[in-house]
Structure 1
Amino acid sequence: MVTTHDDSHANAELTLFGRPADQGRWLLIPLGMSILLCLGTVYSWSIFRKPLEGEFNIGATESLLPYTVALVFYAALMPIAGFYIPRIGTRTVTAIGGTIVGLGYILSSFATQIGMMTLTYGVIAGTGVGITYGVPMAVVARWFPDKKGLAVGLTIVGFGLSPLITAPLVNHLIDAYTVRPALRILGIAFILIILAIATTLKLPPQDWFPKRLLATQSTSTPAPTYAASLLKSRSFYGLWICYTIGALVGLSAIGISSPVGEEIINIDPKLAASSVALFALFNGVSRPLFGWLCDRFKPHYIAIASYTLILIACVLMLNAQEGQVATYLIAFCLFWFCLGGWLAMAPTTTLRFFNPDQYAQNYGIVFTAYGVGALLGTLATGQIRDWFGSYTYAFYPMALLAMVGIVVASTMLKRDRLIERP
């Protein structure tokens, strides 16, 4: 269906939050950030972990299970939820996912052993995160056809900065009420916040454009064309491999940030733990920055730049000596910075290469790369430490993967030459 200029002009006159849509759409970004801030609390598991180890009388490996399972279910539910967003609506999907997240936390407060906690926090809360995560990004992507990367990057800042903001809150709740009531309070708060924001999330009409775009748009301009099938597109596999590498290296580094500082650099454990706040800041800032860059440059150039930064970080850590705190901080700021960058690059590249009207489904499939990277990354670093006796050896495969990423990005992370009209 071809939309006339008059129809498009009528769409541009829509209002959002009582303001012209061009202005009102910006409010969707902080609302989406707020939802992702709640969801990102899953990354604060380490705060619950220590007191639960004592209560359940378990070791460090067992206490990591709920977090690992949560990451897997979060990634696995993303593609499934993506197919339901256009069918049952953004508000319904958000409400369902937010309720499941909250229930996961509430039920976790009644868990009496690690298996039950893995089910409630890992499976249930992780499922809720996976269902809800893609909705705010799908909404802002449709409302910002002129600034896709920047809008998506700003929205997912909420997820990246969540540990920085929610970790002190969680610590305060645990100190005031102990672990179980803290989980219950968080669960109730998440349900109320996400349900309230869900009522505001809606997609624009199919052919809506901001007035600024309409002013330069010609009715004779042909509609953009995209690959007819995501899974038959070479660029999809290039993006999937690059995203897997970015997630694997980034999540591996995140998982060993504090122990590497203590073991290799021999810094004070409290300083190692507090430095995570600095790393989280870099992880959050990189998201809108990389999104903005992807709006302006070809994605494979940005991918190559991120892998180059990862290589620099690996070289720094392979040559790090005891007492070189600055080297450690610079290297891990780069690791966290690049992981945040990939969480903006991947959705923005999906929007550029494939039909934006099918973004929720497409990015759900692309996001499986994050799940694979999360699973392999969290398992590999621990094994390397056990095999070789030091985390230093983990930076060799990270550097190798970064070099592989540069090759894949250079050859495959490009729009398909033969584009079929859907």
Structure 2
Amino acid sequence: MGSSGIHRFRYVATAFVTLLFMGLIYAWSLFVEPIEADFGWDRTQTSLNFTLSMIFFSVGMLAAGAIERRFSTKVLMIATGIIIGGGFVAASLVSTLMGIYLTYGVVVSFGVGVGTDVVMAAALKWYPDKQGFASGGMLMGFGMGAMLLSPPVTMLLSAFTWRMTFVILGVVFVVVMVAVAFLMHVPPADVAVALQAKVKASSAASTRDYTASQMVRTKAFWLFFAWLILVTSGGLGLISQAVPAAQEVLVSTGMTPDEAVMLATVAMGGVSLCNGFGRLLNGIVWDKFGYRFSLTWVSVCFAASMGLCGIAMTFGSFPLIVVGFMLLGLAYGGNMSSMAAMSSGFFGTKHFGMNYAVATLQMIPAAFIGPMLLASFQQGSGSYTSAFWAFLAIAIGAFALSFLVKKPQD
């Protein structure tokens, strides 16, 4: 890598670290038990906060896409730190369920969405020639954030109350986001022209910059949007129920529930690890082999994972369900990096922030479909077995849909 390559790589590295912290949005489950113990709230009430987080994360990205051309990256990242930090501190002071919803579910998640969109839009402008690699590398941080930062957060919860942990996290986010504000820049005009010269004609390179309104009028966008919903629903469904599903398999082998939950948590770690790695891997695949191969292998991983999980539930095989979890992690991570690569590769980098924000709106229906479908099958039959077979059908639908997606220019 030459000096110019090293120079621009630092922006992807900065974005990776930033999104590592943003990935804590997936770690809400760490706070559930201590908060429930304090207030006596049930799991249904506290679980709604995760759904709210997904919704307002998407809203935050949409808001950032609308204003990022009016303000500098520095201003927006400082604002991000204030929003997230203020949200955590405010959450530490609440005494009602609605207070948790408004501070953590709305304010913190909105700030995470704003910061994610801004930092990705800035960093991707340095890599018009390697959109898949750049987006995958950055999003790997987001996917692995919950796994890598859960241990220190757990230590804080053990040493302090959840309220003090929220205050500490608020301060940390302000410091990190302000630091990022001074490290992250978009390329100057002359550099941007030189970078565009690196772009090679390929199946992943867009020759036109679409606005969001132009993008949503294309057939390509809606086919891709539908594909994203199908794969994301599977990922979010399993993320929300991975531990109890793995626990069911382990208990069926004669293990006690207390013993089972420890191993089930390890299985959940496999999902997080592969979620992060899948984002980088699929970004590289997108650049090297094109969007068609990328969508196909993600769909195949999704289908294989659901099939393996269904077989594992039927025969009580813990190793098999771990492999299934890891494959779904790869599929879900690949799905997330595909969304970023599509936004820039299909529709150009000029309006990436807004276009990517619009694409992330697919997480709203997926956040309802996946967890609710998985939970309803489990409640209806008392087992997750039928749920995995149902998701296998969804995965097959995603596989078929992947062949219908075409770039607007095709």
**Deviations along 1:340-368, whole A, 9 cap, x unmatched?**
11111111112111021111111111111
TM-score, with structure 2 as normaliser:
0.91
Give the 3 Å change call, closer, same or farther, for CA 271–293 of structure 1 in structure 2: same
Cα pair 2:54 2:363 within 8 Å, conserved: no
Where do 1:325-336 residues align within 5 Å? 325-336=318-329
Report the counterpart of residue 309 of structure 2 in structure 1: 317
For residue 367 of structure 1, the aligned residue among 341, 357, 360 is: 360
Give structure 1 stretches of 5+ with no counterpart: 1-18
Letter of the aligned partner of 1:233 in structure 2?
A: T
Letter of the aligned partner of 1:69 in structure 2?
A: L
Give the 3 Å change call, closer, same or farther, for CA 271–239 of structure 1 in structure 2: same
**Higher gyration radius (CA):** 1
Report the counterpart of residue 67 of structure 1 in structure 2: 50
Do structure 1's residue 200 and structure 2's residue 183 form an aligned pair? yes
Letter of the aligned partner of 2:72 in structure 1?
A: G
Q: Distance in 1 between matches of 2:210 and 2:193?
A: 25
Question: Which contiguous aligned blocks of 4+ residues in structure 1 show a shift greater than 6 angstroms?
Answer: 210-213, 215-218
Report the counterpart of residue 253 of structure 1 in structure 2: 238
Report the counterpart of residue 138 of structure 1 in structure 2: 121
Q: Distance in 2 between matches of 1:352 and 1:385?
A: 39
Report the counterpart of residue 52 of structure 1 in structure 2: 35
Give the 3 Å change call, closer, same or farther, for CA 319–200 of structure 1 in structure 2: same
Give the 3 Å change call, closer, same or farther, for CA 252–216 of structure 1 in structure 2: closer
User: Secondary structure of the equivalent of 2:239?
Assistant: helix
Report the counterpart of residue 385 of structure 2 in structure 1: 392
Cα pair 1:136 1:155 within 8 Å, conserved: no
Do structure 1's residue 176 and structure 2's residue 169 form an aligned pair? no
For residue 225 of structure 2, the aligned residue among 220, 240, 246 is: 240
Do structure 1's residue 39 and structure 2's residue 32 form an aligned pair? no
Where do 1:69-108 residues align within 5 Å? 69-108=52-91
**Deviations along 1:5-57, whole A, 9 cap, x unmatched?**
xxxxxxxxxxxxxx965431111122112211221112111111011111110
Q: Distance in 2 between matches of 1:207 and 1:238?
A: 36
Give the 3 Å change call, closer, same or farther, for CA 200–215 of structure 1 in structure 2: closer
User: Secondary structure of the equivalent of 2:144?
Assistant: helix
Q: Distance in 1 between matches of 2:161 and 2:170?
A: 15
TM-score, with structure 1 as normaliser:
0.88
User: Secondary structure of the equivalent of 1:346?
Assistant: helix
Cα pair 2:249 2:318 within 8 Å, conserved: no
Where do 1:289-300 residues align within 5 Å? 289-300=281-292
Where do 1:188-227 residues align within 5 Å? 188-206=171-189, 208=191, 214=197, 224-226=207-209
Give the 3 Å change call, closer, same or farther, for CA 145–168 of structure 1 in structure 2: same
Give the 3 Å change call, closer, same or farther, for CA 251–212 of structure 1 in structure 2: closer
Report the counterpart of residue 216 of structure 2 in structure 1: 231
Q: Distance in 2 between matches of 1:51 and 1:117?
A: 13
Q: CA RMSD in A?
A: 2.2
Report the counterpart of residue 350 of structure 2 in structure 1: 357
Q: Distance in 2 between matches of 1:121 and 1:224?
A: 41
Q: 199-208 vs 97-106, which deviates more? A: 199-208
Query: 1:251 deviation in Å?
Result: 0.8
Report the counterpart of residue 338 of structure 2 in structure 1: 345
**Deviations along 1:193-230, whole A, 9 cap, x unmatched?**
11111122211134635979758999xxxx92355710
For residue 406 of structure 1, the aligned residue among 387, 399, 402 is: 399
Do structure 1's residue 307 and structure 2's residue 290 form an aligned pair? no
Q: Percent identity?
A: 25
Cα pair 1:144 1:151 within 8 Å, conserved: yes
Give the 3 Å change call, closer, same or farther, for CA 257–386 of structure 1 in structure 2: same
Q: Distance in 1 between matches of 2:249 and 2:200?
A: 57
Alignment length (residue pairs): 395
Query: 1:91 deviation in Å?
Result: 1.9
Query: 1:372 deviation in Å?
Result: 2.1
Letter of the aligned partner of 2:309 in structure 1?
A: M
**Deviations along 1:285-337, whole A, 9 cap, x unmatched?**
11111001111223132112111111111111222245411101000001111
User: Secondary structure of the equivalent of 1:87?
Assistant: coil
Letter of the aligned partner of 1:290 in structure 2?
A: N
Cα pair 1:227 1:416 within 8 Å, conserved: no
Letter of the aligned partner of 2:172 in structure 1?
A: A
Give structure 2 stretches of 5+ with no counterpart: none
